[in-house]
Amino acid sequence: MPYRAPAAEFRFILDQVVPLAPVSASERFAEATSETVDAILTEAARMCDEVMAPLNRASDLHPARLENGVLRSTPGFKEGFAAIREGGWVALAAAEEFGGMGLPQAVNMAVNDMMSGACLSLQLNPLLTQGQIEALEHHASDEIKALYLPKLISGEWSGTMNLTEPQAGTDVGALRTKAEPNGDGSYAITGQKIYISWGDSDLTENVCHLVLARLPDGAAGTRGISLFIVPKYLPDADGKPGQANSLSVVSLEHKMGLHGSPTCVMAYEGAQGWMVGGEHKGMAAMFTMMNNARLAVGVQGIGIAEAAFQKALDYAQEREQAGAIIQHADVRRMLATMKAEIFAARSIALACAVALDLGRASGDAEQSARAALLTPIAKAYGTDVGCNVAETGVQVHGGMGFIEETGAAQFYRDVRVTTIYEGTNGIQAMDLVARKMADNGEAAARLLQEVEDFAHSARAMLPQLAEDTWLAAESLREATEWLVHQEMQDRFAGAVPYLRAFARVLGAHYHLRAAVAEGGTGPRTDLARVYIRRLLPQYAACLAEAKEGAAGLYALTPEVLHG
């Protein structure tokens, strides 16, 4: 069977598990009524199923290509993007002032999840534009907002982010791209950027690049970096694409997957750009886009996991080996694990989005802190689940999973990069144990208290599942109290297992909420039992590793590792 967007799953989570109701009750998001959200989910699911999903296989078999400097998209992408643009799917969370719908990020992320499962290569284009929209809304001048936001929000123009250079990856401060004042308020941008997703496009009439560069008086490192918007075509007096800017696509990267999404090497040769966010304040402005993208990339992982799971489930029901293979215990174990992981990751991502919406709607600092805490967890766990579920999907297919014609391997190849871009998952974990614990773990403690309180209230209905969840949350609380008193290098050495333990506990919490919502008996309770009894115990091993410190790792010098 083809991909089926899980709209009903989002309705359940946003109603029963991570309620959207408090967001809809706010003045800012009063338009996000249950009827409106239901209509959006229904229509988005239809578009994903009927328009985007049929393009996914073509995105792998017929990659984007560069012909004499001109980008050619995967066949069918123009029509697919037209449906995205005409449906307003770029504009869901954008400001109404410039033509957006002003809806909550929770709704936007639900739609992005479904679009990612349908065709990730195509979904990347509007996703990047959404991130640029948010950065401009927060940091651009009124003139730039008035010119660029309506075009980006309508989908007439698309947006990118340009950070990485050959010598400057995670260490963004090592960039060499220069910005020279032109004397008229604009700047001449010169340098090379790599790994620029959708750095060129034949789907939109203009491509707008947010480019990090250094002014002549910019200090070394990240403190001296500024941000500039650099369009492919310079807007004329009427705001329409005019003269070509001095920038070009040097080449397309040859990638493991995501072949339909062109990843460009970009050259800027005195290209005209305009500053966004003030002199030497580029990282603050870019982080607005990156934080949006980090949650969105976690959602991409979940969307691919959903698609890989659906394909594996269909195959397991059809494949005969001493009966349909779904009857075998180990196949059933794999499928149940895939389903349980997807629900947990999806709930964490939506909880992050809801906290973000509540913080924006009310100015509640605790909700904003919760969103900040959950962002690295949602990104890392969501993409880890994407990779693990896609890999398990190949295993369910057996030998046929290793044969490209089945399409099972495409999900793994496409999703693999999500654990790397927008900050590797190791960087996310380091962010969690450092910046997100700068409050001595107070935001984490508040969240874990809610987990424990709910588990306590669920003991009468589901005593074993509630007790297991409570004990795990209490252990994580104690580990967090220990963590905030450690040296930073010791925190970093255990950051990844600590994040995984946190995700395991939150996953148990949301599964328990789902089980309680259906009265403690039924399919969601059965799924919660799979997660809490089979997967949750991994938190203990993760916390043991997290507490081990850095000394043992640094004892293994390069000479020792070489043997």
- Active-site annotation, residues: 422
Beta bridge partners of 162: 211
- CA distances 137 to 86, 141, 152, 189, Å, are 22, 9, 11, 22
- CA distances 49 to 115, 255, 345, 432, Å, are 9, 26, 22, 36
Q: Which helix (H) or strand (E) holds 228?
A: strand 225-231
Return d(Cα 448, Cα 462) in angstroms, integer.
19
Q: Structure tokens of 238?
A: 């009427």
Is residue 390 within 8 A of residue 304, CB to CB? The reply is yes
- CA distances 275 to 131, 139, 370, Å, are 17, 10, 31
* C-alpha angle 105-110-112 in degrees, rounded to nearest 5: 90
Is residue 385 within 8 A of residue 341, CB to CB? The reply is yes
Is residue 255 within 8 A of residue 417, CB to CB? The reply is yes
Rounded to 5 degrees, what are φ and ψ at 194? -125, 165
Nearest to residue 169, comparing CAs of 379, 377, 424, 355?
Answer: 424
* C-alpha angle 110-116-122 in degrees, rounded to nearest 5: 130
* C-alpha angle 325-328-334 in degrees, rounded to nearest 5: 90
Tell how far CA 283 is from the center of its chain.
19
Return d(Cα 489, Cα 42) in angstroms, integer.
48
Nearest to residue 469, comparing CAs of 496, 503, 506, 517?
Answer: 506
Strand segments (E) across 415-543: none
| Three-state SS letters, 91-148 | CCCCCHHHCCCCCCHHHHHHHHHHHHHHHHHHHHHHHHHHHHHHHHHHHCCHHHHHHH
Is residue 55 within 8 A of residue 80, CB to CB? The reply is yes
